């Protein structure tokens, strides 16, 4: 991973690059940022910049032997520690037991989260970073470095360290020479206070819609889809990628059709629409509902904000104007939103989605016609 591959976080990257060049990088860093903001990618790019034997002005070269190893997460001086689970009762699990899977998983998507990781492992067991793992970390940091000047330990999700994490305090406080510890957390408050206070905090910003949009467009998505996804992702690039994987048509079209059949009371068309939507997987269905909620939120803002600031697509603006003209009030919007949120929750609980979308459509239709009869 190189700095050029990181989405946003430009100020933070500039600061880290300067610290590396000045040889002032603190030996225990805490990279803290919410899910999908890029903590692990930054740790990987920093490690690669450090071990690269042909450093460029502000990035690793991406080509030297050290970079090639880093890009496979196989550099002998860069170690990883992360939450793992017990496969057998008799065993105390170590990150090393899972390293192959971890490499494949992270190389696939360095923005992934602990939840994705546990899902990837296919376990329902509690994951942990154990006391034995902490001793392994210390052992690895005491080794002589093989190829690089530094030994680097990346600890992914230190919030999984319970009080056994205190085993690490000595190595944080009195590090062996040329040793770097990068902690990557999503929830700083859940990290042991004793560790927090001994590391230097590097705070990641929430990614802007523009940053996410441009990263998605770089990967070949058109502007309309990229705009919709960036807005739904709310600063989480990992989620943006999940959304991208489920993006296959223009959502405003799908929404416009749905509302058409509901408002015009066209039962047969509505049933066809429901069948088409429920053919798609559940992630897509949830995304659709989240999208509707967003459009409704924009509708609330629409009256009070200059139109240019809404970041709406033409089709969305038109749809909002139609809904306005049909008298969809803020009060009704709140009722719709409750129904939509409920439906997302039900899908997560494995509801039958055909029945669910039928019921939802009927309930919204009822709200629509109640409104019409009042006015």
C-beta closer to Zn ion: residue 52 or 73:
52
C-beta closer to Zn ion: residue 64 or 271:
64
Does position 61 interact with Zn ion (CB under 5 A)? The reply is yes
CB of 52 to Zn ion, least distance (A): 3
C-alpha–C-alpha distance, residues 251 and 193, integer Å:
45
Does position 138 interact with Zn ion (CB under 5 A)? The reply is no
In the list 64, 131, 271, 339, the residue contacting Zn ion (rule: CB under 5 A) is: 64
CB of 40 to Zn ion, least distance (A): 19
Only one residue has tokens 């890029």, namely 38
Phi/psi of residue 99, nearest 5 degrees: -65, -40
Phi/psi of residue 74, nearest 5 degrees: -125, 25
CB of 47 to Zn ion, least distance (A): 12
CB of 108 to Zn ion, least distance (A): 22
Site string for Zn ion, 105-134 (x = CB under 5 A): ------------------------------
**Which of 58-66, 153-161, 315-323, 356-364 is the region at the interface with Zn ion (rule: CB under 5 A)?**
58-66
Q: What residues does 156 pair with on adjacent strands?
A: 184
In the list 52, 230, 251, 292, the residue contacting Zn ion (rule: CB under 5 A) is: 52
CB of 2 to Zn ion, least distance (A): 9
Q: Can you read off the two tokens belonging to residue 280?
A: 């798609």
**How many CA atoms are closer than 13 Å to the CA of 191, on its beta-carbon side?**
23
CB of 53 to Zn ion, least distance (A): 6
C-beta closer to Zn ion: residue 52 or 161:
52
In the list 13, 30, 67, 207, the residue contacting Zn ion (rule: CB under 5 A) is: 67
Which residues are within 8 A (CB) of 6 and not within 5 positions of it... i.e. 6 or more apart? 13, 38, 41, 42, 45
For CA atoms 128, 131, 134, 139, give the dihedral sign: negative
C-beta closer to Zn ion: residue 33 or 110:
110
- Sheet of strand 179-185, all strands in order from the earlier edge strand to the far edge: 78-81, 151-156, 179-185, 28-32, 200-203
C-beta closer to Zn ion: residue 19 or 64:
64
Does position 20 interact with Zn ion (CB under 5 A)? The reply is no
**Do 112 and 238 contact (CB within 8 A), yes or no?**
yes
- Give the CA diameter of the chain: 79
Q: Which residues in 191-250 contact Zn ion (CB under 5 A)?
A: none
Number of residues that bind Zn ion (CB under 5 A): 6
- Residue 265 region, left (φ>0) first, then alpha (ψ -120 to 50), else beta? left
CB of 151 to Zn ion, least distance (A): 18
CA 205 to each of CA 6, 8, 214, 259, 349: distance values in angstroms, whole numbers, following the listed order: 13, 9, 17, 37, 32
**Which of 62-70, 103-111, 211-219, 265-273 is the region at the interface with Zn ion (rule: CB under 5 A)?**
62-70
| Number of other CB atoms surrounding residue 245 within 10 Å | 11
C-alpha–C-alpha distance, residues 210 and 235, integer Å:
10
**Which of 46-54, 130-138, 157-165, 267-275 is the region at the interface with Zn ion (rule: CB under 5 A)?**
46-54
> Which residues of the chain form contacts with Zn ion (CB under 5 A)?
52, 54, 60-61, 64, 67
């Amino acid at each position: 991973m190189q700095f050029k591959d990181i989405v946003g976080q430009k100020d933070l990257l500039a600061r880290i690059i300067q610290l590396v060049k000045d040889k002032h990088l603190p030996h225990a860093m805490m990279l803290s940022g919410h899910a999908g903001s890029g903590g692990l990618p930054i740790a990987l790019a920093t490690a690669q910049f450090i071990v690269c034997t042909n450093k460029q002005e502000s990035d690793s070269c991406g080509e030297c032997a050290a970079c090639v190893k880093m890009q496979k997460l196989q550099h002998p001086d860069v170690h990883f520690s992360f939450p793992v689970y017990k496969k057998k009762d008799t065993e105390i699990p170590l990150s090393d037991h899972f390293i192959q899977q971890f490499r494949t998983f992270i190389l696939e998507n360095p923005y992934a989260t602990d939840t994705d990781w546990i899902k990837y492992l296919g376990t329902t067991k509690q994951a942990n970073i154990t006391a034995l793992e902490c001793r392994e970390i210390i052992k690895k940091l005491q080794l002589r470095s093989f190829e690089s000047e530094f030994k680097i330990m990346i600890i992914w999700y230190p919030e999984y360290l319970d009080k056994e994490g205190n085993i690490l305090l000595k190595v944080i406080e009195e590090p062996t020479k040329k040793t770097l510890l990068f902690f990557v957390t999503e929830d700083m408050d859940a990290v042991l206070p004793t560790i927090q206070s001994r590391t230097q905090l590097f705070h990641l910003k929430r990614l802007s819609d523009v940053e996410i949009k441009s990263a998605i467009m770089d990967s070949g998505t058109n502007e309309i889809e990229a705009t919709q996804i960036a807005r739904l992702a709310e600063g989480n690039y990992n989620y943006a990628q999940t959304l991208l994987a489920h993006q296959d048509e223009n959502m405003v079209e799908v929404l416009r059709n749905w509302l058409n059949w509901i408002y015009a009371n066209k039962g047969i068309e509505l049933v066809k629409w429901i069948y088409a939507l429920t053919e798609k997987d559940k992630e897509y269905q949830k995304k659709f509902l989240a999208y509707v909620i967003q459009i409704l939120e924009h509708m609330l803002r629409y009256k009070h904000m200059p139109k240019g600031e809404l970041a709406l697509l033409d089709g969305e603006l038109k749809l909002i104007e139609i809904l306005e003209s049909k008298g969809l009030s803020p009060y009704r919007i709140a009722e719709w939103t409750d129904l939509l949120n409920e439906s997302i929750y039900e899908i997560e609980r494995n509801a039958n989605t055909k029945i669910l979308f039928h019921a939802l459509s009927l309930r919204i239709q009822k709200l629509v016609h109640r409104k019409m009869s009042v006015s």
